Structure 1
Amino acid sequence: MSFNDLLEANREFAAHFDLAGFDGVAHAGVAIVTCMDSRIDPLGMLGLKPGDAKIFRNPGGRITPQALEALVLAVHLLKVERVLIVPHTRCAVASNTEAELRAQVAASAGIDASWQPFSVISDQVAALGEDVQKVHSHPLVPDSIEVGGFLYDVDTGLLDQKY
């Protein structure tokens, strides 16, 4: 499989590119940590546009050490004042056990995957509360930063604020 279709789409995108000269700060003062799931449009779901927000994505939309690193940089260097943590409904890491995910990956890969860790989530709402607390309690995240925990419904497009 080649990348020709994507490179052609990129040339079309570049022909109408109007984002040159952006300064890289979050113009709406927003950072979003969400899942890598392709059903999530982080900017669109909040009525934002390119340049408005910093977006960090990972399986499950968790606050990992890498997500915390991104948020620290965002609040100190990129004008972020509000952080949204947004996992979603029907998430693979929240609806499977680690053993189930390993078995699915092994079946797809055709090799043993029992050694590969997957950060499954047994209770999304509880995990979301823990993640909000991780950001709130980080010594390099000022108390002035608003942090909210939301569950995104992939079937309706609605956010439900949990924290």
Structure 2
Amino acid sequence: MSSAFDDVLSANAVYAQSFRLSGLEPVAARGLGLVTCMDSRIEPLTMLGLRPGDAKILRNAGARVTDDTLRTLVLAVYLLGVERVLIMPHTKCKMASVSGDDEVHDLIRDQYGVDTRSLEFHTDNDQLGALRHDLERVRHHPLLPDGLPVAGALYDVDTGKLEIVDE
């Protein structure tokens, strides 16, 4: 019987034959917590000179600091060795190219007949403003340590370059 996942299961079988990460510690070896987008054009380890185990990578649509992102950062800081946080959205992000959540809800409803209004997508076409807002949410979260280094950077999907926006 064929499965929609045969390709990934086959690739995993090949990967497992030469698996070398057994025994890797669960902490962020380089103390980095990275919040970035789920966009498949972003290769966080390679682009930042990291290896498996170096960082805790949190990905979501638009690289937004949601309540769940904050929950995960609290765990990462206290239990998983995160000592600094980089929030990294990217250019040409779909979540920053719409006028707001209403536009996305309407698009999904019109094209697929699904009402998504029970969800908040956190879209914002002022990408740098949204980034600064998210930086402040992390910097001032009452459960995160005072003085936790937090920076924001914009990744350019056309050049591969990272530009610090707020440090």
Pair in the same fold by TM > 0.5: yes
Residue 79 of structure 1 deviates from its aligned partner by 1.0
Q: Secondary structure at the match of 1:162?
A: strand
Looking at structure 1, the residues matched to 155 and 47 of structure 2 have their Cα atoms a distance apart, in angstroms, of 9
1:3-61 CA deviation, whole Å, 9 max, x = no partner?
11110100001001000111210001101001111111111110001000001111110
The answer to whether residue 4 in structure 2 is matched with residue 2 in structure 1 is: yes
In 2, Cα distance between equivalents of 1:105 and 1:99: 10
Q: Deviation at 1:114?
A: 6.0
Question: Aligned residue for 1:102?
Answer: 105
Matches for 1:7-46 after TM superposition, within 5 Å: 7-46=9-48
Aligned to 1:120: 123
**What TM-score does the superposition give when structure 2 sets the normalisation length?**
0.90
Aligned to 2:44, what secondary structure does the other structure show?
A: coil
* CA gap 1:108/1:17 in 2 versus in 1, 3 angstroms: farther
Q: Scaled by the length of structure 1, what TM-score is found?
A: 0.93
Cα RMSD over matched residues? 1.5
Q: Could you report, residue by residue, the CA deviation over 1:79-123 in whole angstroms, capped at 9, with x for unpaired residues?
A: 1111000111111111012343233323442x1436354321121
- What stretches of structure 2 of length at least 5 have no aligned partner? none
Q: Kindly report structure 1 stretches of 4+ aligned residues shifted beyond 6 Å.
A: none
Q: What residue is the counterpart of 2:71 in the other structure?
A: 69
Distance 1:21 1:121, change over 3 A: same
Greater mean alpha carbon deviation, residues 119-128 or residues 100-109 = 100-109
Q: Percent identity?
A: 49
Task: Return the alpha-carbon distance in structure 2 between the equivalents of residues 76 and 112 of structure 1.
Answer: 39
Aligned residue among 139, 158, 161 for 2:161: 158
Shift of the 6–112 alpha-carbon distance from structure 1 to 2, 3 Å rule, reads: closer
